[in-house]
Amino acid sequence: MKFNLALIGFGGVNHGLAEVIRQKQAMLADRYGMTLNITAVSDMRFGTIWHEDGLDLDALIALPAKGYAVDDVLAKAGTQRGGASLAETLSMIQLNCVDVVLEATFTNPQTGEPALSHCRTALSAGKHLITTNKGPLALAGHALQSLASEMGVQFLFEGTVMSGTPVLRQLDVTLRGCDISGFRGILNGTCNFVLSQVEAGASFADAIREAQQLGYAEADPTADVEGWDVQLKVAILANALWGNGMKPAEIAREGITGLSEQQVREARAEGYAWRLIGEGRQQADGSINGTVGPQKLPLTDPLLAAHGANNAVTFTTDLLGAMTVSGPGAGRHETAFAMLSDLIDLNDRIKK
């Protein structure tokens, strides 16, 4: 099956996806009978570009090295260009040459915008939607899923919780048959990396700077270090597990900025480690409690198998006891893999 793709945002994640598509083209065709064709891209640095038959993949991948000058992309006859406004992006999403919208922009954790508008427009226009963006899902997930169902399209979001490490699909597939009463996890790669570096002797400022250089942290790391990012992820996981419509604002939140470098290093010397932990638990009456905050964990805790920018989450189940999933929680190619896995899942669903 052939999918024409619109990439919304062409930063690390969607640029990484373009690289992965080029790398995996033959395998995707041979193994899954699937062809991925990028027909449209929107990014605040160059606006919108599209071609009904597909954009030049090599020229797209070369954009960052060329300062996002799109001359080589536009050299293909028939390529069109628009501006960088939200209205122009929303118009591009609705083009007939787009089947699947892949949304990977920055989002405001309080409003979900502009990603929420991208997502609503895609689904309303009858486009399949894949996003790694936590805001729309945490703030309006039920409404978006209802809209997708109404329009007969798929809405997939594996990369929203632990980047490339499959967690939501574990719940949907491999853990069916288990009742899960709670979870607790290291769900932010930036904070995990920063605390690991501080334990090793770095200052908080230097550790955050290094995380930014490595692509783990945004230019403004506030959403990470103040716990906003994990708050959204706890809401997504809780709603995936229990469908209770939990809102991020209902989850108590504290970041790591209240910890001192001395506290972090002393804990390690005592056989403990400070980590930012997101938790959710279903109570006997069916209500859900959610929290985000730093916790002092013994070094024997399985969550501490997640080093550096890795993440881990432990589910409390009735049949398996405590089960921990660990893997990459940040990184452009890791998150791009989550989008690729959603595209393969989309292909499987449509073929059924």
- Which sequence positions are flagged as catalytic? 233
Expressed in angstroms, the distance from the first to the final Cα of the chain is 12
In 280-289, which positions are buried (b, 16+ CB within 10 angstroms) versus exposed (e)?
A: bbbeeeeebe
227 CB burial (10 A radius; 0-12, 13-18, 19+): buried
Token pair in block for residue 185: 């996890």
Residue 221 CA to residue 216 CA, distance in Å, equals 10
Q: CB of 73 within 8 A of CB of 67?
A: no
Kindly give, in sequence order, each residue whose CB lies less than 8 Å from that of residue 41, ignoring residues fewer than 6 positions away. Answer: 6, 7, 10, 14, 48, 49, 50, 55, 60
